Amino acid sequence: MFSRLLVLTAAVFILTTAISAQTDTDGAVLKGGWRVTLIPEAGGPPPVPVLIAFTSDGGVIETDQGPAAPGQPLSIFSAGIGGWERRVGRQFNISYTQLQYDSAHNLIGSFRARITAGLNKQGTELTGDVVVEFYDTDGVLIFTGYGTVHGVKLPVVGAN
């Protein structure tokens, strides 16, 4: 009886360790500050650089500024708020939403970015696909665009 219990305990330990190793995926998590470029598909606006902070518990804070497209009036965007989650391995889903205002500071809608990206083994580079969606103030989708993303982790640098 004791030997069966010992074998069963050992089997559970080995199985738990194997499952843990598969889900950890070398500790791949998104965290820290990143400079990310949203690159629209051919014929779209120029690439849009953004700064994104990923929190270790799945939060996203994004910031950028500029016209929505060349030749368009200046649009003012709030900071983007959202989240991230691991899909599988080193692949992640990332999304954030921003409020959009016109130059007179009137709310004109919202913007959402949905990103599926992979993280390199060093945890310093992110590449993938992006879908961008613009909504009016009633939440009705008015435009969808597609593209790719490329990001690099911002290094932490001290004063010395």
Q: What is the CATH number of the domain that holds 60?
A: 2.40.128
Q: Confidence band (pLDDT; 50, 70, 90) for 26?
A: low
- Per-residue pLDDT, 148: 98
Is 13's pLDDT higher than 50? no
Q: What is the pLDDT of residue 64?
A: 87
Q: How far apart are CA 111 and CA 132, in angstroms?
A: 7
- Count the alpha carbons within 13 Å of 142 in the hemisphere toward its beta carbon: 10
Residue 1 included in any domain: no
Please report whether residue 74 resides in a domain: yes
Mean local confidence (pLDDT), 2-26: 41
Question: What's at 95, amino acid-wise?
Answer: S
Per the listing, tokens 């990001």 go with 151
pLDDT of residue 61: 97
Q: What's the total number of domains in the chain?
A: 1
Q: Say if residue 71's pLDDT is above 80.
A: no
Tell me which residue range forms the domain holding 90: 29-153
In this structure, which amino acid lies at residue 102? Answer: D
Given this model, what pLDDT does residue 44 score? Answer: 85
Structure-block tokens of residue 148: 């790719």
29-53 average pLDDT score:
92
In a domain, 122, yes or no: yes
Through-space distance between the first and last CA atoms of the chain, rounded to whole angstroms:
64
Q: Could you tell me if residue 10 is inside a domain?
A: no
Say if 160 falls within a structural domain: no
Q: Does a structural domain hold residue 159?
A: no
Q: Is residue 73 part of a domain?
A: yes
Tell me whether residue 4 is in a domain: no
pLDDT at 122: 93
More confident residue, 93 or 3: 93
Query: Is the pLDDT score of 15 beyond 70?
Result: no
